[in-house]
């Protein structure tokens, strides 16, 4: 099974990326995922179910420990045609 995760962390700071946002992006960028797109207002990653779920677990734990007050995420099952 393939999954796509989309996430944002808060609170926002338009002047400088907060520590929780930097940590969340580092987690996703270092995970064994097939596709990663990071941006100022949202981030997306795709990969196998185990890899995505492992990354999401680490993302939540590390972002909250780094000061995030909210993590919004959506996880979708995707097919090969959605790539």
> What pLDDT score does 40 carry?
72
Beta partners for residue 71, in sequence order: 9
Q: How far apart are CA 79 and CA 3, in angstroms?
A: 8
Q: How far apart are CA 68 and CA 29, in angstroms?
A: 18
> What pLDDT score does 54 carry?
97
Q: Is the pTM of this model over 0.85?
A: yes
pLDDT, tens digit, for every residue of 28-72?
999 999 999 988 778 999 999 999 999 999 999 999 999 999 999
């Amino acid at each position: 099974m393939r999954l796509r995760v989309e996430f944002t962390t808060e609170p926002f700071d338009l002047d400088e990326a907060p520590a929780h946002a930097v940590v969340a992006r580092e987690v996703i960028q270092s995970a064994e995922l097939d596709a990663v797109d990071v941006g100022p207002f949202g981030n997306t990653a795709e990969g196998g179910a185990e890899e995505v779920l492992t990354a999401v677990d680490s993302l939540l734990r590390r972002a909250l420990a780094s000061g995030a007050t909210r993590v919004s995420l959506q996880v979708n099952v995707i097919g090969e045609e959605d790539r």
